[in-house]
Structure 1
């Protein structure tokens, strides 16, 4: 957070300066209220009154085959969106709810890239607030306020996936107490009426009681502020499903091979896509095309720039491993950097409160957050020259985080405690129509960036998970303008996502009572599937076999229990959950479930490896895989999960 204290400044001047900043921030915030179109009252008034949250919802979504058929038989879509990450899926939902005929294609799975590898924070960005104050930057301040507004939206639209999380900043120097206090109070001020809870100061004794793992010998106090934490990949797939339920044609495993152009005007008219599952080529015609591929934006821009509508070619060795395969060789718009996170056991952090290291050895901010019953730690910031297909965490990255953690944890920080580790590409973007000077960063955009190419391609890049909805709204505003569409206004601020309808904070208890579930299982279902949970519970009722952990799938038929790894019972992932994700959430591969619909491999890569065979068995039976496909799934899934720090 406020990590770059100017040590030459005397404490009195610093305190006075930050106090003045708080006053100025309050004035500036009041001036901005007239432009804030978030209307809590209208949202409450417009929220639909639905059935009991533990009643099985009547959900009928199209099959993948039906979606593919719609893709092939539609003469022309209003908009084709390329990319099924947070922004692409959010844009599909926005466009569909405005009345546009939408197609979205994703070459892999929803959230298979950056959108599943975030810090899981729905936050305003306290680091940007520091820059806004010290650099007197209105742009940075606007970025914070925008994110704080959208943070409130995330908590409203998906209450089962996004929760309020208090975060404590340990303070180790007395002069930092008023400095950090002023900072978190400014954070409260700019959130305004959407502030989650007021920040507060805790004494050294209370800080140690909250976080007994902290080294109290140097601790002076703690500052607690509040942000949101969420399940990013489940949020992403939920956006895609909600878009489908609102009429969009959304498909994973559809790769764009070529952009089509009108020979007379050179304007884009559509794309040729390949169904990864069948190899079939499909032509999609669309009035407007959106590039929402995040770190891979340059590949679609290459297609747009090239006369033949195809990307630049480059060769890679046939022996290239998963960890070294390159997706984009010479990115021009995206300035990629890798952010690494690791997962640790729950004893590294308070169970109900995160920790923020505001003074790391290299000046970065480091989070240590309770997440899905574990502790998420990160992140690094490592510049890259190419965009990898599957970024991975190196051993040096992992050791970096562990070394930082040891600075304030009183017990030994051990490498064997790392349950999983991964890397995601966090792109800064620059305007590809300009050529920045060598080594200059003036052209880099910390916020999101939208532009339309000469051929009509609308590209949205940059930004952060928290602001996905506003990014999507602005993207579809551009689509509407370019396509001259007559549509309904944006309504996504007031929309509950699938599983969030009629959500009750006591849903876990209600599920436990109605279906006689253990509390850990009912909490898992309520916090990941919301009011769609009864559909999984109904499978438990229909067949006791569906209650088994996925590790046992296939083994129970032969009564092979002698070699059971009972550690598998520590995790609530059941056979029924896999079946639900296949039939209701378009999971098509083993990794779709183990990594993104559930977060098994992110939380414990070793245990996820032991469940590959069972997951292949369940999905293979549901999707009629032959023996060759089952072997391919098994081999690739094991190879991929092994890159997660195992």
Structure 2
């Protein structure tokens, strides 16, 4: 009873000092009005149409307002924007969402400190505008998908005293141009503190550390969230549907839709639309070549095989001699967590050959990159060459005290960075040059009415989508609602609470690692997976064990698979609620298993195929084809 006579301040102090749970409980009950009530966990499954229902809707719809071709960041972002403005939107992607460049980024939501430096030295307003635009959009990403996008401090190690004021002013300018959207203020560390934060660096050479803040995010999961959000807003969104021909008006030549083929069944679909959008990223020239053809068909020489050695290894060419896109290959590698501090990234502001190199904590590992290798053609599946991997490792060794080993590389991949230029003003002499390159994105409408959006980067996807739909409304003469995508919450972000990890762990008795993984991958929809865990304990197992009838007997099993939290329950969830159709969809994009550890992902192929085969009623031939395709693809990821 004595505690009841204490003042609130004394009671709180006593509680904290003693760690008394009873006193805390009493205080909570007495001052309930002063404690924020947490958002209750909900395991309500979204009412999403099945893939079959979406196909039927696409086939039966007489005419859509807009057809978006391409299911990457910009394409799905445009679908969300169009649907939320009241347009009847269809989207088709020939492979899976984020199967191209959108899953192979540096995972940074950033303004670009290197562009700010260029803006300063080149007195370029265009470069500065690019930075300011990206800084604003960075804030919108953190707002619309807080479970997928987090603030990440990044330290620039300084090895010369004269660089200290230079980098310090640069970081402060970066904060300044972010304005009210600034995440956190940049600051300077002493050499001693910097070496404590990053003990892997050579402290004998270190003079200081400059820390600024950007965003880090999960790119392919963001892409999946955009696709699901678009469907929930009424859009008809389908992966594995390939455009085979642009439909044109016989009299005017205006693009009026497309013929497409469902790659699962081979069925042809006629999609009529008032406006068609080309959002195919590095493959934009492929659609433009179809647009230039009177019959809307692709050129016969599009698909070739090339071996360019350094930048692609026997890759099948998707677009030969592109006019609009100037492709450049960026290679990234993934390393164990001891190569970088767990809570702060490192930026090598200037490598030996003048490039910028990142070493970032990501998904419990370290992401290092990137290279910038010019290419003449656009490969269908770019791969990281050994020379590119060694290049990154060599640069990393300049800063790391312990030996940098090739066997530490857990995964490596290449993505195509699509720099763009206006193909309408390009002469044949300019095709092989960098003449007319646009550092930002590029949007235009051809004489046939085809709207093309290309270039840019993940951080600015939302603004690119907004401008694209603005153009669609103009071309189609639509009456539409204002854009709302700056504030709209993506799938999994509705009702998000910063304490969601703790709430999930408490409610379902999860480890902190599993709770963090689910909350930061699926957001407020992760309780659906947890209910699957409760319903069947087998769903808690790693996907490596998929298809084992007796889970109590693990013969010839690599128990390293338990180090990764990717479960059978997640796989079943992704099939039902995220349109996962192949083993690679799950291993590479709905989860990041193959990107984080290609060897372990390779070991999980059989289990993944077994579960998917049962869920999707695959026959033996389909299961074997999936095993082969997934295994061969993962083997190209640096292993």
Give the alignment's TM-score, normalised by structure 2: 0.92
Tell whether the 8 Å contact from 2:304 to 2:318 is kept in structure 1 after alignment: no
Aligned to 1:458: 451
Distance 1:379 1:139 in 2: 24
Aligned to 1:539: 532
Query: How do 1:82-481 and structure 2 match up within 5 A?
Result: 82-314=69-301, 323-435=314-426, 438=430, 441-481=434-474
Tell whether the 8 Å contact from 1:553 to 1:615 is kept in structure 2 after alignment: yes
Distance 2:303 2:91 in 1: 29
Q: Tell me, which stretches of 5 or more residues in structure 2 are unaligned?
A: 1-35
Distance 1:558 1:522 in 2: 23
Query: How do 1:545-564 and structure 2 match up within 5 A?
Result: 545-557=538-550, 560-564=553-557
Distance 2:243 2:164 in 1: 53
Aligned to 1:18: none
Distance 1:450 1:403 in 2: 39
Change (3 A) 1:319 1:360: closer
Moved over 4 A (4+): 315-323, 436-440
Distance 1:464 1:433 in 2: 23
Is 1:54–2:41 an aligned residue pair?
A: yes
Q: Tell me, which stretches of 5 or more residues in structure 1 are unaligned?
A: 1-48
Aligned to 2:517: 524
Aligned to 2:620: 627
Give the alignment's TM-score, normalised by structure 1: 0.91
**1:553 shift after superposition:** 1.2
Deviations 1:227-283 (A, max 9, x none): 000000000010000000000000000000000100111101110000000000000
Tell whether the 8 Å contact from 1:336 to 1:384 is kept in structure 2 after alignment: yes
Distance 1:360 1:252 in 2: 39
Distance 1:607 1:125 in 2: 33
Higher mean C-alpha deviation, range 310-319 or range 573-582: 310-319
Distance 2:382 2:55 in 1: 30
**1:201 shift after superposition:** 0.5
Tell whether the 8 Å contact from 2:302 to 2:317 is kept in structure 1 after alignment: no
Tell whether the 8 Å contact from 2:302 to 2:320 is kept in structure 1 after alignment: no
Aligned to 1:577: 570
Deviations 1:511-548 (A, max 9, x none): 11001111111100000000000000000011111111
Change (3 A) 1:289 1:544: same
RMSD: 1.6
Tell whether the 8 Å contact from 1:78 to 1:286 is kept in structure 2 after alignment: yes
Is 1:72–2:59 an aligned residue pair?
A: yes
Aligned to 1:636: 629
State the SS of the aligned residue for 2:78: helix
Instruction: Select the structure of larger CA radius of gyration.
Output: 2
Distance 1:200 1:628 in 2: 59
**1:456 shift after superposition:** 0.4
Aligned to 1:616: 609
Aligned to 2:591: 598
Distance 2:501 2:230 in 1: 26
Distance 1:51 1:199 in 2: 32
State the SS of the aligned residue for 1:486: coil
Change (3 A) 1:611 1:489: same
Aligned residues: 598
Distance 2:313 2:73 in 1: 23
**1:484 shift after superposition:** 0.3
Distance 1:316 1:148 in 2: 39
Higher mean C-alpha deviation, range 514-523 or range 437-446: 437-446
Tell whether the 8 Å contact from 1:57 to 1:535 is kept in structure 2 after alignment: yes
State the SS of the aligned residue for 2:203: coil
Distance 1:150 1:556 in 2: 48
Distance 1:545 1:518 in 2: 17
